[in-house]
Structure 1
Amino acid sequence: MKSKTALPVSYRLGVTSRVLAAVVGGYLMAALASICLALWTPTARADAVITGMMSSFVFYLLAVLWCFACRNAARAWLGVMVPSVAFAALAGVGWWMART
């Protein structure tokens, strides 16, 4: 028996996509931000790592808030992946500079 208040499949898929963007994309963005801060903070190595790790919670929170504040799931994914790519590029440059 089908309920009259059943939500459409497109709505359910949109919410599922936002949840995945928040959980997976937010974790990726927070991890890359943490690495960037650890590489680019001009303090002792241990202090830089702690600063990066503690600030990753803020980045994760911002990613989750962003994913559920957007009008559609595509914008949520875009808003998480663009900063992730930027953080990955900065981490790569920082790692390359530290090796030379």
Structure 2
Amino acid sequence: MSLSMNSIPNAPSAHPGLSVLSRLLAAVVGGYALASALAVFLAAVLPAARAEAVLAGMQWSFALHALAAVWAFSPVSPGKVWLGIALPTSLLAAGALVLGR
């Protein structure tokens, strides 16, 4: 009887380094995209002078990028990490696109 890696629960992946690489890319690239989307969204939404809204958006984006980087290495699957970063990024970018016009 042959057992595959898919039939064994909690089996280690064939290349654990790929999981770390995926999380690292999610933290750096995904976190940057999320922070940028938040900065643009807040600059379009905040009811302040244009320069103040942009500055506030940038300040909040630094905090969000740090949180995204920490969360990328949390004990959830890399797929959930990517989904948790990609979904808010796309929503914020779409909102900024709609509200910025």
TM-score, normalised relative to structure 1: 0.84
Residues 2-81 of structure 1 mapped to structure 2, 5 A cutoff: 9-81=14-86
Q: Unpaired runs of 5+ in structure 2? A: 1-12
Amino acid at match of 2:61: S
**Runs of at least 4 residues off by over 4 Å:** none
Higher helix share: 1
Q: Percent identity?
A: 42
Q: Which runs of 5+ in 1 are unaligned?
A: 1-7
Q: Supply the RMSD in Å over aligned alpha carbons.
A: 1.5
One-letter amino acid of the structure 1 residue matched with residue 78 of structure 2: A
Deviates more, 1:69-78 or 1:25-34: 69-78
C-alpha displacement of 1:9: 4.8
TM-score normalised over the length of structure 2: 0.83
